[in-house]
């Protein structure tokens, strides 16, 4: 009798063509809300929240490709964020166009992620996570001691004429920044969606579900791990590139700090790990919590916002491990069932 290999769920249920990760109506509603946000909330502070939330949503979406869909939980994504930020800063200081600097930074961050993945993917579970932390911390120490990258003092970008070409605008009206980062977020979301909807999406989910079974049925595990890592790093690097152009400064803590890596992971977990819109929701919640705590608690706000965010993670994990989007889905399903029962009851009464 010939032994049979059990297919991973992601391969057993995979269809030739996948629908978008979220319904079209949900996507349209989210897009409309994002477009209208700076028109409704017109203060610079509210617009700053929007800009930072979308920037971190890009980075968290990049983390979600590797940590959520491929199941490779990394705590070193600050390395790719910092690659984008420092590359952009160096090139802009050398006289390059910000747009060209972004275009160069994206593949460099993706290449960095693939290079880190080559040795790290030989490890599994928490050993992989620890290895990613080690690479990020090594980069932190190296950058802190490199003259060309500003050492611990960091790098400042020059203030130039306000224009789209220079990617510098008025600080009193941050809507141009907001719509630029919104466009970058949509570009990153499209790249992730295209990656996930085809064979690559089925393969990385299969690797997450059962790597041994996926390899047994012929999935090239190492190749698709590296592909997921490259896309994940490129998207996270895009976030770092825009961030440094927005704040016009980067140093090791703001570009390579371990807290950044943890934040990207927490955003995805809170919103819904392995869910397309999860990082976006988690990023908005985190940034709003940070803004509130810093306003209320001044200098101690950084510690308090992490405490509040940690409490939210614990509560969500206990009540619904799928994150905020899973809670929304559960409520929507419950309402739908109740409405269906009501319609059935009304029909039965009318027939009787």
* Chain segment 236-293, per-residue pLDDT in tens: 999 999 999 999 999 999 999 998 998 899 899 888 888 899 999 999 998 988 887 7
Q: Cα separation of 227 and 312, whole Å?
A: 32
3-state helix, strand, coil in the chain (%, to 5): 75, 0, 20
Q: 238 in a domain, yes or no?
A: yes
215-240 average pLDDT score: 94
From the DSSP assignment, how many helices (H) and strands (E) are in the chain?
15, 2
Q: For residue 268, which of 279, 257, 277 has the smallest C-alpha distance?
A: 279
335 domain-assigned: no
For residue 266, with 0-12 CB atoms within 10 Å meaning exposed, 13-18 middle and 19 or more buried, which class applies?
buried
Residue 54 inside a domain? The answer is yes
Domain total for the chain?
A: 1
- Check: CB of residue 167 under 8 Å from CB of residue 245: yes
- Each residue's pLDDT tens digit, 58-106: 999 999 999 999 999 999 999 999 999 999 999 999 999 999 999 999 9
> The tokens of 221 are what?
């595990």
In a domain, 151, yes or no: yes
Residue 153, in any domain of the structure: yes
Helices 78-93 and 221-247, axial angle in degrees (round to 10): 50
| Cα–Cα distance for residue pair 221/206, rounded to 1 Å | 9
Summarised one tens digit per residue, pLDDT across range 290-311 is: 887 777 765 555 567 667 767 7
What is the C-alpha to C-alpha distance for residues 113 and 230, in angstroms, rounded to an integer?
5
128 within some domain: yes
Better-predicted residue by pLDDT, 333 or 236: 236
Please say whether the beta carbons of 231 and 26 come within 8 A: no
Read out DSSP for 122-147? TS-HHHHHHHHHHHHHHHHHHHHT-G
Place of tokens 């593949």: 107
CA dihedral sign, ordered 17, 283, 68, 332: negative
Domain that holds residue 94: 41-257
The C-alpha atoms of residue 11 and residue 32 are separated, in whole angstroms, by: 34
| Residue 83 near residue 105, CB atoms below 8 Å | yes
Percent of the chain past pLDDT 70, that is, above it, reads: 87
CA distance 282 to 174: 22
Residue 81 is assigned to a structural domain of this protein: yes
**Alpha-carbon span 16 to 6, nearest angstrom:** 20
Structure confidence at residue 16 (pLDDT): 47
pLDDT value at 22 more than 50: no
What is the helix (H) or strand (E) element at residue 206, kind and residue range? Answer: helix 199-209
Query: Is 284 part of any domain?
Result: no
Q: Quote the strand ranges of the chain, DSSP E.
A: 155-156, 249-250
DSSP letter (8 states) at residue 7:
P
- Specify the residue for token string 């490890």: 123
pLDDT for res 19: 47
DSSP state of 156: E
Angle between helices 44-63 and 278-297 (to 10 degrees): 140
Percent of the chain with pLDDT over 90: 59
Q: Quick one: how far is CA 204 from the chain centroid?
A: 17
């Amino acid at each position: 009798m010939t032994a049979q290999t059990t297919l991973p769920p992601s391969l057993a249920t995979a269809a030739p063509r996948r629908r978008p990760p979220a319904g079209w109506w949900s996507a349209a509603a989210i897009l409309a809300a994002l477009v209208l946000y700076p028109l409704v909330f017109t203060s610079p502070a509210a617009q700053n929240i929007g800009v930072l939330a979308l920037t971190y949503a890009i980075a968290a979406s990049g983390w979600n490709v590797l940590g959520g869909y491929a199941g490779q939980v990394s705590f070193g994504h600050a390395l790719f964020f910092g690659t984008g930020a420092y590359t952009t800063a160096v090139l802009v200081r050398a006289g390059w166009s910000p747009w060209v600097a972004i275009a160069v930074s994206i593949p460099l961050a993706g290449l960095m992620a693939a290079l880190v993945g080559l040795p790290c993917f030989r490890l599994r579970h928490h050993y992989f996570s620890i290895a990613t932390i080690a690479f990020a911390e090594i980069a932190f120490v190296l950058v802190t001691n490199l003259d060309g990258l500003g050492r611990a003092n960091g790098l400042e970008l020059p203030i130039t004429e306000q224009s789209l070409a220079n990617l510098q605008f008025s600080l009193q009206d941050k809507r141009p920044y907001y719509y630029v980062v919104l466009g970058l977020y949509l570009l990153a979301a499209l790249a992730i969606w295209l990656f996930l909807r085809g064979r690559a999406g089925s393969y990385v989910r299969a690797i997450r579900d059962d790597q041994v079974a996926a390899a047994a049925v012929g999935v090239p595990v190492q190749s698709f791990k590296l592909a997921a890592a490259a896309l994940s790093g490129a998207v996270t690097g895009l976030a770092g590139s825009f961030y440094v152009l927005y704040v016009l400064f980067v140093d090791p803590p703001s570009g390579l700090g371990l807290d950044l890596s943890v934040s990207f992971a927490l955003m995805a977990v809170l919103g819904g790990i392995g869910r397309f819109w999860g990082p976006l929701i988690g990023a908005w919640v985190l940034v709003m919590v940070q803004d509130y705590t810093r306003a209320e608690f001044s200098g101690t706000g950084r510690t308090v916002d992490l405490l509040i965010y940690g409490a939210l993670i614990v509560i969500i994990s206990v009540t619904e491990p799928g994150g905020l989007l899973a809670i929304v889905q559960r409520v929507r399903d419950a309402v739908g069932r109740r409405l269906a029962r009501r319609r059935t009851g009304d029909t039965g009464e009318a027939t009787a």
